[in-house]
Structure 1
Amino acid sequence: MIEAIGLDADDTLWENETFFRVTESEFVTLLADHCDPEAVSGRLYDVESANLRRYGFGIKGFMLSMVETAIELTDGRIDGRAIGRILELGQDMLAHPVLLLDGVEQALDALASRRLILITKGDLIDQERKIAASDLAERFEAVEILADKTPEAYARVLGRHGIGADAFVMAGNSMKSDILPVLELGGHGVFLPREVTWVAERAEAPDHPRLHHLEAIADLPDLVARLESGM
């Protein structure tokens, strides 16, 4: 029997990564007189990756990484107005409305009798803002906001809620964060790919009996039913 279903938030329930890429495009344009566009994007990614341990995942860390990248690529010549514009870009992201993805509400309606746990990661304040703005919180038995999604972090979540790993299903768009750690624990991973996924969240899909691929979240209730019928 499936005891509980975990659902990722960003880019599984609502749009997220496209806003980062739009902002990155504006950032690249801002530095066009100083550096080649590809070099700006490449350096920003390197700086973001190095800063994850300092700032964690989320918009605020992205803002600080853009500022650091701009200072570095201009040898400190970036002016205050440009820094102000970078901060405005980040603030616009923080104020952006939450846009639910197609099929989310229908899937949650069909799973209403199940134990549903929202498991996301990133900046606590921003994640809480998006969850509140989504009007989905009441659909979930619990909400877990993690600093990172590791096997150990998932194990703690399952332990807190008394869920056996082999009876747990986790659905999300990140192979690295939503799928692989849960497979390692013995659970089921449901991969819901998106057209735009941050490169740091990508990973090779393993050949695994508990890995399931869906094109749309609307198909999740039927998959859960099939999994139970085969148990």
Structure 2
Amino acid sequence: MISAAHSNRLRLTPLRLSSYSLLCILLSILTACASGPTAKTATPTAASAKPTPTKQSAGVVLYQSNWPQGLKDWHASAGWKVNGNTLQTDLGENRTLQIPYTPTTPDYSVEYRVQIVNVPKDGGYFMLNADPATGKDGYQAHILNLLTAAPHGYATHPLSEIVIEPFEHEMDDASPQVLDFVPGSKWHTYRVDIQGARALFYVDGMRTSRAYSAKTNNLSQGPIRLVCGKAILNIGQIRVLSL
């Protein structure tokens, strides 16, 4: 027989269970409110890549001469004189000018205008040279053996060529091209293109000679000099351009 007290405890048990369940629900709600919405984790942003330098467009003038301003920065030898917008040399040998600009890239062009005024005896010349530098061969773009107006043998002509300096570094399978060239007394535009280990020589837009270095991947960026001798020449504008 179940006592009255025990019967009362049995009747209270469902109430106790309901209270316990309610308490659990309340605790769950309070815990959820306390924690709040889950914060979004910020996605780390990758560091911005450095912009790749844009290659200079071909044909941009990087430097150009201005003869009326004089030869102060040109390290000129004796024998030069300014004549308006041109420069003129005397008949001496090894008359030199050093372009007061050094290209900052391995690929570039040097363009210069020359007029032959007088060649009193055979053997006049002018050339554009870049000295060898550390790890870089130089080059020489020649116009050689300028002649007087007197008659000459059929096979005797001035020559144009470009060579690697030192010459023994010239690539064997790309020996320099030598071309007969009679400049006369007209103005001509000469241009040297330097592309890596290759040097190209143009006269009035026509390629006359090429040369390749077998030793270095790039050719010298200077100092770049114009060297003349044994002829009176007018020198027009000299320009350095991107290539």
Please tell me the TM-score bracket, short chain as reference.
under 0.3
Q: Rg: which structure is higher? A: 2
TM-score, structure 1 normalization: 0.24
TM-score, structure 2 normalization: 0.23
Whichever structure has more helix as a proportion of its residues is 1
Whichever structure has more strand as a proportion of its residues is 2
